Structures are given as structure tokens and as C-alpha cells.
Amino acid sequence: MCAVQSQGSLMFVDEIEFWVRGGKGGDGCVSFHREKFITRGGPDGGDGGAGGDVVFRTSPHENTLYHLVGQPTFPAKNGQPGGGSNMTGRSAEDLVLDVPVGTVVLDADRGNVLRDLKTPGDEFVVVRGGKGGKGNARFATSTNRAPRQAEEGQPGEERRVRLSLRLIADVGLVGLPNAGKSTLLSTLSRARPKIAAYPFTTLEPHLGIVPFGDGASLVVADIPGLIEGAHEGKGLGVQFLKHVERTRALVHLVDCSATAELEPLEARRVVLDELRGYSPELAARPRLLVATKVEDDDSRARAEELATGSGDVTVAISSATRDGLAELLAYLRRLLP
């Protein structure tokens, strides 16, 4: 199972299930020392090598789980069998799977979280390889000087896992479709999300780095537009909402232009209801209300009505003319020192 959103030739995968299996340990060896003039040498069968582990490791070079699509099982290699002359079999190398920062590893059958990989370079051994079997040299005793038994290598662990990617950003941009989130992100950063004048242009989250003048910066996530009932699974709401769970603050964009489908206060209510329905904790996170597309007297009046009716701190902006962007960044700087 995997959750995929396609945008042109790009594939953004933020959820996937597959099996992982540790390598089998190598078998122990049954062998006896043979050398000229030594007719009855003792046992010298070596141990088998250990099977490889399967390891998830976060990489800043990955931003989707797409590279793991199409393979139902990821098996680590088996350990090599032992040999004569007390030769231990070679242990197998671990199978390391790179995943994006922010990947949550879950047991697909039980649903419990196994590990939350939040920082670059995090590693998690999800299944371990089997131990190598003992060779017959290990079974020699004073009463059994010529043992002919050896152990088989142990099988590796295996389990079905589900990976769920949750983007890590300082600020999440939320709002109804066409509220101006992608335009704002592209204006403030070098990110280039798809932009057009119709709803649901953005089909996947986008990250952008927004610089301040003193060298500091914020990581901002553009979350695709929410619709009413998103927290109940309508549209792709739940898949999108999970990407704002890790953000430190939310910037709630409301379209105040004459072409907006909903009145500003109603648009605000719809999105807040979805946030509360998904997670009251998320809805209580620091939030800044932003009136967008404020470019004429009518839109300014609607922005003032939004600020008065909501009682929230509200910044009016126009990404097209860049009006209000400096004030917006100043608020964000104070909100997230």
C-alpha cells in the first residue's frame, strides 16, 4: 500500500507498506583437521556468519518515499557458512534504506509506532539478522572428542512495516484551496510550487526556506488546500493534515478578494473546524491570520471585517505587489524566535 500524489512527472509518496526481512545466519560447519602424519585430527568446523540487519536511515537528500515503491519485500543478505580449519563464515552487510527526515516507522499489523526519525542521520534497526550456527568444534568435550553435529543458522526477523512521512517545518501554511499559499511561498522563498487560478493546483506539500535579513531563516510548508470534512477523510484531507502536525506555528491564509468563494469569516471557520476535528492540540498551536489578495478598497474592507470579526491578530498582504510581506515576516520572527 502506498499513498501517491502525482504532479507532472514528479511522484510524491508519503505512505507505503512493505515487508522487511533480516538475513539468515550461515550454517556451522562439520569438519575434522586433516594433515600429513596426523590421522585423527580433532574437529575444526567454524561458525556461520551473522545475517544482515535491515536499517532505516534518514537522509536530507530524500524528500519522498517514492524510491521504495514497487518492491514488496526488502531482504538483507544471508551470512556465509563456516568452513574447515575453524574458518568463521563472513557476516552479511546490513541493508540500509534511506528515508526522508520526518519518517515515522510503524508496525503495519499492530499499528504501533516503532520509531520516529526526526533528525538527519537517525538510524533504526527495524529487523535483525539471524545468528550464525555453531560449527562442530564448539561441541567438542572430554567425552565427545569427535562431534559430528553443527547448528544451522538462525532465520532473521521479519515484519510488515508502514512508513508515514510527516514533513518537518517551522511554519505550516493552511487555508482553503486558492487562498494564495503557493503564491506566498514562491514569493518569500525559492520554492516553485505549481500556481494557477483554479482550486487544488497544489497536489502535494512543498517546503521552502524563507530567509530573514540577519542570516536566520524559517522552513515553511505549503499544505494543499483543505475542504470541509477534510479531517473525516474527504478529499485527501487527512493525508495533508498530518504534514502540519510537526510545525511550530500555523499561518492561516484567507482570500479576501472579490472572487473568493466564501466570505472571509466563513472561510476562517471552515479551516479552524477541520484543524480542531483532526487534533485539538494542533488547533491550539500559535497561529497568525493572514488576509490575502488585499489589493483594492473592497478587499481591504473585507480584510478589516475579518480582523474585527475574528479577534485574531491579522496581517493583510498581497503577494502580487509584496504589500504587507515585511510585516508578515516581522510577526513570524516574533512568533518563532
CATH number of the domain at 314, please: 3.40.50.300
Distance CA 241, CA 331 (A): 24
Give the sign of the dihedral formed by CA 101, CA 102, CA 107, CA 109: negative
pLDDT digits (tens, 9 = 90+) for 166-177: 878 889 899 888
* b/e per residue 90-125 (b: at least 16 CB within 10 A): bbbebbebebbbbbbbbeeeeeeebeebeeeebebe
With a cut of 60, say whether residue 95 has pLDDT above it.
yes
Tell me, yes or no, whether 16 and 103 share the same domain: yes
Q: Are residues 125 and 183 in the same domain?
A: no
Name the pTM for this structure: 0.74
**Are 113 and 46 contained in the same domain?**
yes
If one counts the domains in the chain, the total is 2
Q: Which of 131, 165, 199 is the last residue of a domain?
A: 165
Provide the pLDDT for residue 232. 52
One-letter amino acid identity for 255? D
Task: State which amino acid sits at residue 190.
Answer: R
Grid coordinates given for 178: 486558492
Q: How confident is the model at residue 246 (pLDDT cuts 50, 70, 90)?
A: confident
Q: What is the pLDDT of residues 117-138, one digit of tens each?
A: 999 999 999 999 999 999 999 9
Mean pLDDT of 66-72: 93
Q: Does residue 107 sit in the same domain as residue 187?
A: no
The lowest-confidence range among 15-29, 133-147, 160-174, 203-217 is 203-217
Q: What pLDDT is recorded for position 335?
A: 84
Q: How far apart are CA 238 and CA 242, in angstroms?
A: 6
Per-residue pLDDT averaged across 158-171, rounded? 91
- Domain extent for 76: 2-165
pLDDT at 240: 67
For the segment 14-34, what is each residue's pLDDT rounded down to a tens digit? Answer: 889 999 999 999 999 999 988
pLDDT computed for residue 5 by the predictor: 47
Question: Are 202 and 318 found together in one domain?
Answer: yes
> 152-156, 223-227, 254-258: which range is least confident on average?
223-227
Which one of 107, 136, 165 terminates a domain?
A: 165
Answer yes or no: do 297 and 275 share one domain: yes
Using DSSP's 3-state secondary structure scheme, residue 335 falls into helix
Whether residues 193 and 287 fall in one domain:
yes
> Do residue 185 and residue 89 come from a single domain?
no
Instruction: Report pLDDT for 182.
Output: 86
Question: Which pLDDT band holds residue 192 (cuts at 50, 70, 90)?
Answer: low
Of the residues 165, 185, 210, the one at which a domain ends: 165
State the CATH number of the domain containing residue 36.
Answer: 2.70.210.12
Residue 89 and residue 25 in contact, taking contact as beta carbons nearer than 8 Å:
no
Whether residue 185 sits in one domain with residue 109: no
Using an 8 Å Cβ cutoff, are 331 and 295 in contact?
Answer: no
Is residue 10 over pLDDT 60? no
Please provide the size of the chain in residues: 337
Q: What is the band of 191 on the pLDDT scale with cuts at 50, 70, 90? A: low
Tell me what the mean pLDDT of segment 93-105 comes to: 95
Amino acid 244: pLDDT: 80
User: CA angle, 106 as apex, 105 and 107 as ends, to 5°?
Assistant: 135
Instruction: Give the model's pLDDT for residue 98.
Output: 97
Residues 113 and 188 in one domain: no
- pLDDT level of residue 35 (50, 70, 90 thresholds): confident
The percent of residues above 70 in pLDDT, for the chain, comes to 87
Closest-CA residue to 14 (of 72, 69, 70, 57): 69
The answer to whether residues 161 and 107 touch, using CB atoms and an 8 Å cutoff, is: yes
Of 234 and 85, more confident: 85
Q: Are residues 26 and 125 in the same domain?
A: yes
Is pLDDT above 70 for 61? yes
Backbone angles phi, psi at 172, to 5 degrees: -110, 130
pLDDT class for 206, splitting at 50, 70, 90? confident
Q: Are residues 126 and 219 in the same domain?
A: no
